Amino acid sequence: MHCPGWVFDVAVSRCVAEFLSAELNLEVFASKYANGLAERYAPIDEAVFSDTANELMGFLAEIDAGEQAVSLITDYCYYRIHNEGVGKPRKLKSMFGSAEDPVKQAEAGSVAMIKGFRAYVFGLRSNTVPQAPAGWKVEDEEENLPHLVELAGRTVSLLDAF
Protein backbone atom coordinates (compact mmCIF):
# COMPACT_ATOMS: atom_id res chain seq x y z
CA MET A 1 0.00 0.00 0.00
CA HIS A 2 1.12 3.50 -0.79
CA CYS A 3 1.89 6.65 1.14
CA PRO A 4 -0.89 9.27 1.05
CA GLY A 5 0.17 12.33 -0.94
CA TRP A 6 -0.28 14.68 1.98
CA VAL A 7 1.99 12.55 4.22
CA PHE A 8 4.68 12.67 1.52
CA ASP A 9 4.22 16.45 1.24
CA VAL A 10 4.66 16.90 4.99
CA ALA A 11 7.67 14.56 5.05
CA VAL A 12 9.47 16.41 2.24
CA SER A 13 8.62 19.75 3.85
CA ARG A 14 10.00 18.59 7.18
CA CYS A 15 13.09 17.26 5.40
CA VAL A 16 13.78 20.76 4.03
CA ALA A 17 12.95 22.53 7.31
CA GLU A 18 15.29 20.25 9.26
CA PHE A 19 18.03 20.70 6.65
CA LEU A 20 17.72 24.49 6.82
CA SER A 21 17.87 24.37 10.62
CA ALA A 22 20.82 21.97 10.95
CA GLU A 23 24.37 21.56 9.77
CA LEU A 24 24.01 18.20 8.05
CA ASN A 25 23.58 17.48 4.37
CA LEU A 26 20.16 17.07 2.77
CA GLU A 27 20.65 13.38 2.00
CA VAL A 28 20.73 12.56 5.73
CA PHE A 29 17.23 13.99 6.17
CA ALA A 30 15.99 12.50 2.88
CA SER A 31 17.17 9.10 4.11
CA LYS A 32 15.49 9.62 7.49
CA TYR A 33 12.09 10.25 5.91
CA ALA A 34 12.42 7.73 3.06
CA ASN A 35 13.34 4.94 5.47
CA GLY A 36 10.78 6.03 8.06
CA LEU A 37 7.89 6.07 5.59
CA ALA A 38 9.06 2.73 4.14
CA GLU A 39 8.30 1.15 7.53
CA ARG A 40 4.61 1.78 6.91
CA TYR A 41 4.17 2.29 3.16
CA ALA A 42 5.60 1.09 -0.14
CA PRO A 43 9.17 2.40 -0.37
CA ILE A 44 9.83 5.77 -1.99
CA ASP A 45 13.40 6.21 -3.23
CA GLU A 46 15.63 8.59 -1.25
CA ALA A 47 16.45 10.33 -4.52
CA VAL A 48 12.78 11.31 -4.87
CA PHE A 49 12.93 12.95 -1.44
CA SER A 50 16.19 14.79 -2.10
CA ASP A 51 15.18 15.86 -5.63
CA THR A 52 11.82 17.15 -4.41
CA ALA A 53 13.49 18.89 -1.48
CA ASN A 54 15.96 20.56 -3.86
CA GLU A 55 13.09 21.75 -6.07
CA LEU A 56 11.33 23.11 -3.00
CA MET A 57 14.47 24.98 -1.92
CA GLY A 58 14.84 26.30 -5.47
CA PHE A 59 11.34 27.75 -5.28
CA LEU A 60 12.06 29.26 -1.86
CA ALA A 61 15.17 30.91 -3.34
CA GLU A 62 13.16 32.09 -6.35
CA ILE A 63 10.71 33.96 -4.11
CA ASP A 64 13.51 35.22 -1.83
CA ALA A 65 12.02 33.52 1.23
CA GLY A 66 15.23 33.97 3.22
CA GLU A 67 14.54 33.92 6.95
CA GLN A 68 10.86 33.15 6.26
CA ALA A 69 11.61 29.78 4.59
CA VAL A 70 11.16 27.57 7.66
CA SER A 71 8.06 29.52 8.67
CA LEU A 72 6.52 29.02 5.20
CA ILE A 73 7.30 25.31 5.37
CA THR A 74 5.76 25.00 8.84
CA ASP A 75 2.62 26.79 7.65
CA TYR A 76 2.43 24.44 4.66
CA CYS A 77 2.80 21.37 6.92
CA TYR A 78 -0.06 22.64 9.09
CA TYR A 79 -2.18 23.30 6.02
CA ARG A 80 -1.55 19.84 4.49
CA ILE A 81 -2.24 18.06 7.78
CA HIS A 82 -5.46 19.92 8.52
CA ASN A 83 -6.87 20.50 5.01
CA GLU A 84 -7.54 18.39 1.95
CA GLY A 85 -7.86 21.55 -0.11
CA VAL A 86 -8.83 25.19 0.18
CA GLY A 87 -11.78 25.36 2.55
CA LYS A 88 -11.97 21.57 2.90
CA PRO A 89 -10.85 20.31 6.33
CA ARG A 90 -9.25 16.86 6.62
CA LYS A 91 -10.88 14.33 8.96
CA LEU A 92 -8.02 13.33 11.22
CA LYS A 93 -10.18 11.20 13.50
CA SER A 94 -12.14 8.40 11.96
CA MET A 95 -14.24 5.61 13.38
CA PHE A 96 -12.44 3.18 11.10
CA GLY A 97 -8.70 3.54 10.66
CA SER A 98 -6.46 6.55 10.81
CA ALA A 99 -5.63 9.55 8.64
CA GLU A 100 -2.18 7.97 8.20
CA ASP A 101 -3.54 4.72 6.72
CA PRO A 102 -1.99 3.63 3.40
CA VAL A 103 -3.86 4.29 0.15
CA LYS A 104 -4.36 1.91 -2.76
CA GLN A 105 -3.21 4.27 -5.53
CA ALA A 106 0.17 6.01 -5.38
CA GLU A 107 -0.43 9.70 -4.62
CA ALA A 108 3.05 10.78 -3.55
CA GLY A 109 5.00 12.65 -6.17
CA SER A 110 7.43 15.46 -6.74
CA VAL A 111 5.42 17.38 -9.33
CA ALA A 112 2.21 17.43 -7.28
CA MET A 113 4.09 18.38 -4.11
CA ILE A 114 5.89 21.35 -5.67
CA LYS A 115 2.75 22.49 -7.47
CA GLY A 116 0.81 22.30 -4.19
CA PHE A 117 3.48 24.22 -2.28
CA ARG A 118 3.60 26.96 -4.93
CA ALA A 119 -0.19 27.27 -4.85
CA TYR A 120 -0.12 27.42 -1.05
CA VAL A 121 2.48 30.22 -1.00
CA PHE A 122 0.50 32.27 -3.53
CA GLY A 123 -2.69 31.57 -1.56
CA LEU A 124 -0.93 32.73 1.58
CA ARG A 125 0.00 35.99 -0.09
CA SER A 126 -3.64 36.59 -1.01
CA ASN A 127 -4.94 35.42 2.41
CA THR A 128 -6.99 32.51 1.03
CA VAL A 129 -5.27 29.72 2.99
CA PRO A 130 -4.67 29.37 6.75
CA GLN A 131 -1.36 29.76 8.54
CA ALA A 132 -0.17 27.60 11.41
CA PRO A 133 -1.02 28.92 14.87
CA ALA A 134 1.94 30.59 16.61
CA GLY A 135 4.30 27.97 18.02
CA TRP A 136 2.64 25.03 16.23
CA LYS A 137 4.81 22.10 15.15
CA VAL A 138 4.15 18.67 13.66
CA GLU A 139 5.01 17.08 17.00
CA ASP A 140 1.83 18.67 18.44
CA GLU A 141 -0.28 16.22 16.39
CA GLU A 142 0.70 13.07 18.33
CA GLU A 143 -2.89 12.09 19.11
CA ASN A 144 -3.96 12.05 15.45
CA LEU A 145 -0.70 11.24 13.63
CA PRO A 146 1.47 9.04 15.87
CA HIS A 147 3.66 7.59 13.08
CA LEU A 148 4.41 10.95 11.46
CA VAL A 149 5.13 12.56 14.84
CA GLU A 150 7.44 9.71 15.83
CA LEU A 151 9.26 9.99 12.49
CA ALA A 152 9.63 13.78 12.81
CA GLY A 153 11.01 13.32 16.32
CA ARG A 154 13.80 10.95 15.27
CA THR A 155 17.22 12.48 15.55
CA VAL A 156 19.96 12.20 12.97
CA SER A 157 23.68 12.60 13.48
CA LEU A 158 26.79 13.24 11.46
CA LEU A 159 27.37 9.47 11.40
CA ASP A 160 24.13 9.02 9.43
CA ALA A 161 25.79 10.87 6.55
CA PHE A 162 28.20 7.97 5.99
Summarize pLDDT for 29-70 with one digit per residue, the tens.
999 999 999 999 999 999 999 999 999 999 999 999 889 999
Q: Which pTM was predicted?
A: 0.89
Residue 28 phi/psi, 5-degree rounding, is -60, -45
pLDDT value of residue 156: 82
pLDDT band at 12; cut points 50, 70, 90: very high
Contact 34, 43 (CB under 8 A): yes
Give the mean pLDDT of the chain: 88
Whether the pLDDT of residue 91 is over 90: the answer is no
Residues 6+ apart with CB under 8 A from 123: 86, 129
Percentage above 90 pLDDT, the chain: 55
Model pLDDT, residue 92 = 65
What length is written for the chain? 162
